[in-house]
């Protein structure tokens, strides 16, 4: 994986005009259902952020391509879920990731619109939230609003550590590779914290759902207390 990241970074550095399309394709792949689990877009974006900060690449075309790729990837996943419906859960490769899909469904049922926005920042469910939104027939307009808003925030956050390390702030504050590594670790820590909080929320939602189901079951089995004749 590290070799692939190095090759992609070197290619972008040597062929600046292809930086935007390359990043756009990576972001598209990372946003696709399940496929995103195997696409190292985040690591490449950290490296490209450094090239942008060093003025080796033009920021705006890359930003536009990255946002467009992220939006399109979620849109395609949503469309697949909406078109195929619940049957897609029983097909490969989703049938091999049933626990992850179940967690995503609980997360979406609890948070709805916010789940689409937050899901982009939660690695374990990022690649399945749009798909589940489509299967559960989330209206298209709210989905696209959350999709576009989250992509517009997520992309600069991914570029930020490398940009700050190599750009103006890096020269003013003497940021070196050690600081960049620390920034990457902090970013990873934030992602892990968000994932942990999301998992806790999912756990609480699951417990409440079980409690409600148990209460309904007990209510349905309760004996009828009818008034006695005479």
Chain segment 127-149, per-residue pLDDT in tens: 789 999 999 989 988 899 889 98
CB 106 within 8 A of CB 199: no
pLDDT band at 170 (very low <50, low <70, confident <90, very high): very low
Chain segment 42-63, per-residue pLDDT in tens: 777 887 888 887 777 888 888 8
Mean pLDDT across 35-48:
74
Q: For residue 161, is the peptide bond before it cis, meaning its omega torsion is within 30 degrees of 0?
A: no
Q: Is the pLDDT of residue 78 over 80?
A: yes
By C-alpha distance, which of 30, 31, 25 is closest to 133?
31
Is the pTM value of this prediction over 0.85? no
CB 166 within 8 A of CB 51: yes
Whole-angstrom Cα distance, residue 136 to residue 138? 6
């Amino acid at each position: 994986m590290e070799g692939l990241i190095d090759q992609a970074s070197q290619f972008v550095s040597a062929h600046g005009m292809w930086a935007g399309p390359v990043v756009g394709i990576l972001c598209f792949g990372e946003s696709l259902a399940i496929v995103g689990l195997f696409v190292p877009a985040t690591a490449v974006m950290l490296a490209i952020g450094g090239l942008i900060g060093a003025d080796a690449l033009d920021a705006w075309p890359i930003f536009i391509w990255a946002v467009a790729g992220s939006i399109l990837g979620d849109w395609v996943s949503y469309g697949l879920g909406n078109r195929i419906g619940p049957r897609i859960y029983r097909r490969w490769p989703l049938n091999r990731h049933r626990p992850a899909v179940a967690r995503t469904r609980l997360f979406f049922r609890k948070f709805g619109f916010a789940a689409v926005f937050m899901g982009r920042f939660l690695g374990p469910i990022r690649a399945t939230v749009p798909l589940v939104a489509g299967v559960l027939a989330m209206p298209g307009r709210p989905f696209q609003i959350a999709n576009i808003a989250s992509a517009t925030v997520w992309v600069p956050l991914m570029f930020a550590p490398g940009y700050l390390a190599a750009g103006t702030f890096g020269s003013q504050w003497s940021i070196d590779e050690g600081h960049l590594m620390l920034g990457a670790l902090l970013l990873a820590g934030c992602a892990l914290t968000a994932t942990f909080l999301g998992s806790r929320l999912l756990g609480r939602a699951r417990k409440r759902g079980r409690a409600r189901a148990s209460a309904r079951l007990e209510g349905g089995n309760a004996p009828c207390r009818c008034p006695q004749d005479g």
